Amino acid sequence: MFKRCMAAAGVEYQVVASENRNVTHNRAFAMRRKLIDVQIPFFIPVWRRVVVVALCFGWALLEVTAENTEWAVLAVGIAIYCAHQFFLAFDPKEK
């Protein structure tokens, strides 16, 4: 149906193979996943994990005192994500 409508309108189009789309999607997903992956050997010492979480909560406190609630919510979200990744789900990959 789509092909006939496009042909009737005189519009040329190119069908992209679904395999190429999946490869591109998987590569983009892997890059995004790597961007937020905090389970790396750098964070094996506990003090580094504690400092990062404390800095995030400190940033949130600073934003609350400056009445910037949007940035405070963002900082708390990052702090909660880091706390979860560092203390509940931490399993560093040795590279």
Going 66 to 71 to 72 to 73, the CA torsion angle's sign is positive
34 domain residue, yes or no: yes
Give the residue ranges of DSSP H helices in the chain.
Answer: 2-9, 18-35, 46-65, 69-83
Q: What six digits make up the tokens of 75? A: 């900082």
Number of domains within the chain: 1
d(CA 3, CA 62): 57
48 domain residue, yes or no: yes
94 domain residue, yes or no: no
Print the domain residue range for 11: 2-88
93 domain residue, yes or no: no
pTM for the model = 0.63
pLDDT above 70: residue 41: yes
User: How much is the pLDDT for 71?
Assistant: 96
